Amino acid sequence: MAAGMSAECKGGRLVVLGANSFAGGCATTAALRAGMTVLGISRSTEKIKPSSGDFGAFGGSYTFLQRDLNRDLDAVIDDLRTFRPAYVIDLAGQGMVAESWRTPEQWYRTNVVSKVMLLDVLREMPSLRRYIRVSTPEVYGNTDGLVGESLLYQPSTPYAVSHAAIDMHISAYVKHHQFPAILTRFSNFYGPGQQLYRIIPRTIIYAKLGRKLPLQGGGNATRAFIYGDDIGSALLAALGAGRVGEVYHFSTDRFITIRKLVEKILALLNLDFDDCVELVDDRPGKDMQYLMSDAKARSELNWTDTVPLETGLMRTIAWVCDNWAQILHEPLEYRHQP
């Protein structure tokens, strides 16, 4: 059972919105290991498999439905009413920071308008006991030093603005409707199965292909990285022991610049940084750092990260190598879906 997860949750009915995202797959895997009955909803057609085998290997049961919150909202609502979840983990939304400058209205439509309409149905669902919202530290903008959950929002991009807006809406619902929501914010995700355009798999793949990796802004931004298994355990900890209306940060105490991260990956591959990387201009509105304190999650939820960065990087490298033939047929760049 996940750290902090109550016996009450074990075997419960859970909806994972955005189940085919990387973190959605991590959440689904953790929930199935805990014996939960899971309905995964995502707009993509491919099902995300857990990191250690097929879903059937775990005690829970899994059903997947392909739905788009913008185009199929009525169907999603019908699915929820039929399934009658006790719990919802919400990872659905438009991602990618830089691209949000091009068509910001799409980010607001998906991350705010469609979510508001969905939440208005969820708040009247008698079966619902907990709603876990997966937000982003980018709502804080560029931060100075280690920050806690009470920091004021200062978003720097349309992507971050959309997340701040829906977070504030949810907080208002908690106060006015007693909506059972808990907000969570995570450091950067990584691990086997992550989208290939993200910095860690992208670095590995470009190195294996002999292509120069374009490193935005020289890689001077500082981040923390949290491994897939730790994402799943964090979400179940919030689900089982989180207090309604609270915000929880999940991070590690290992902060590293993107340049140092890339150097570390290339060293594990026995490659030289200068041979594999080219420096390019930074993307607009990029925050140089957002370093979150996760002391609250560790003390209240009894959660801790378990996978050191070097271990996680080696596992991710092994995953790329083991799946190399398939990866060669997959797109390596982000493809926007409105």
- The 10s digit of each residue's pLDDT in 4-58 is 555 667 779 999 999 999 999 999 999 999 999 999 999 987 554 544 445 555 6
Same domain, 182 and 266: no
Same domain, 156 and 280: no
Nearest residue to 27 via CA among 193, 243, 181: 193
pLDDT digits (tens, 9 = 90+) for 293-328: 999 999 999 999 999 999 999 999 999 999 999 999
Domain assignment present for residue 95? The answer is: yes
> Structure pTM?
0.92
| CATH number of the domain bearing residue 91 | 3.40.50.720
pLDDT digits (tens, 9 = 90+) for 189-205: 999 999 999 999 999 99
Same domain, 265 and 178: no
Sign of the C-alpha dihedral computed for residues 84, 88, 91 and 94 taken in this order = positive
Sign of the C-alpha dihedral computed for residues 166, 188, 259 and 274 taken in this order = negative
Same domain, 137 and 153: yes
Mean pLDDT lowest among 59-63, 177-181, 213-217: 59-63
Same domain, 30 and 124: yes
Domain assignment present for residue 292? The answer is: no
Same domain, 166 and 203: no
CB 137 within 8 A of CB 187: yes
Same domain, 200 and 137: no
Res. 2: pLDDT tops 90 = no
Sign of the C-alpha dihedral computed for residues 49, 52, 54 and 55 taken in this order = negative
Please give the pLDDT value at position 45: 73
Domain assignment present for residue 120? The answer is: yes
50 Cβ neighbours under 8 A, 6+ residues apart:
25, 28, 29, 32, 58
Domain extent at residue 116: 13-189+225-250
Same domain, 243 and 312: no
> How far is Cα of residue 230 from the mean position of the Cα atoms in its chain?
11
Q: 297: part of which helix (H) or strand (E)? A: helix 295-300
DSSP helix/strand/coil, 61: strand
Domain assignment present for residue 294? The answer is: no
Please give the pLDDT value at position 67: 95
Please give the pLDDT value at position 287: 67
| Greatest CA separation for the chain | 59
| CATH number of the domain bearing residue 319 | 3.90.25.10
Same domain, 168 and 25: yes
Domain assignment present for residue 336? The answer is: no
Same domain, 262 and 126: no
Domain assignment present for residue 163? The answer is: yes
Nearest residue to 30 via CA among 192, 230, 212, 207: 230
Please give the pLDDT value at position 53: 45
Same domain, 139 and 161: yes
Please give the pLDDT value at position 1: 41
Please give the pLDDT value at position 11: 72
Number of domains in the chain: 2
Same domain, 206 and 59: no
